[in-house]
Chain A
Amino acid sequence: DIQMTQSPSSLSASVGDRVTITCRASQSISSYLNWYQQKPGKAPKLLIYAASSLQSGVPSRFSGSGSGTDFTLTISSLQPEDFATYYCQQSYSLFTFGPGTKVDIK
């Protein structure tokens, strides 16, 4: 089974900050890496698929990069509505989510 890790597990940031979240797979998953945003009490929302493709309707301040085992989600300028938990997910072999990264207000 493919295991996913994320770092940090949580971070505090201010509006306007550049935020970077890292995701690592236990084996190479090529570019089969997706990112989701989840707010409390809500369903997850797809942000990035195939490591770097922006889902329709998602603001361009979100971007993804990486391949193989190491991936990054970047928010270029954090907005108030971006405070949430972010999950990576591999879809190379079935599906596995990372443990999540909670982004809260500094």
Chain B
Amino acid sequence: EVQLVESGGGLVQPGGSLRLSCAASGFTFSSYAMSWVRQAPGKGLEWVSAISGSGGSTYYADSVKGRFTISRDNSKNTLYLQMNSLRAEDTAVYYCAKDREEYCGGDCPADVWGKGTTVTVSS
């Protein structure tokens, strides 16, 4: 069974840092690009970042560029999101998601999602 499990969320003060992890299983992790998508309380979905299967290409939303870093360890089947200089507006549930197709060139939808991890930025 294909599964994604996020962890690492929590309460952090403004300006602080947090690293999210997403453990993947049930598929050939290195063959698929992965994404992070967030949802602020009571709001819609916002794409945050994506990374190619090899990790060689990364993409960011303007709202997090320069503050967040996406990475992956294909030997551990794990996706990461390092979040620095956190702001109140970063408060959200963060989902990791898997591309629908192998070796997709950055235009594939996500067909499997984790349950999400909650990040709260507050003093």
Let me know if A97 and B109 touch, CB within 8 A.
no
How many residues of B sit at the interface, in one of the four size bands?
Answer: 20 to 34
Chain B residue with Cβ nearest A32: B107
Cross-chain contact of A43 among B59, B109, B115 (Cβ < 8 A): B115
Chain A residue with Cβ nearest B114: A43
Per-residue contact bits, chain B 58-94, to A (CB 8 Å; 1 contact, 0 not): 0101100000000000000000000000000000000
- Using A1-B62, A44-B113 as known contacts, say yes or no to A97 and B46 having CB atoms under 8 A apart: yes
Q: Interface centre among B37, B95, B110, B111, by most A CB within 10 Å?
A: B110
A-B contact sample (4 more), CB < 8 A, given A44-B110, A49-B100: A32-B107, A38-B45, A46-B110, A94-B106
Interface residues of B, Cβ cutoff 8 Å to A:
35, 37, 44-47, 50, 59, 61-62, 95, 100, 106-111, 113-116
Interface residues of A, Cβ cutoff 8 Å to B:
1, 32, 34, 36, 38, 43-46, 49, 55, 87, 89, 91-92, 94-100
7 interchain pairs, CB-CB under 8 A: A38-B45, A44-B113, A45-B113, A55-B111, A89-B47, A91-B106, A96-B47
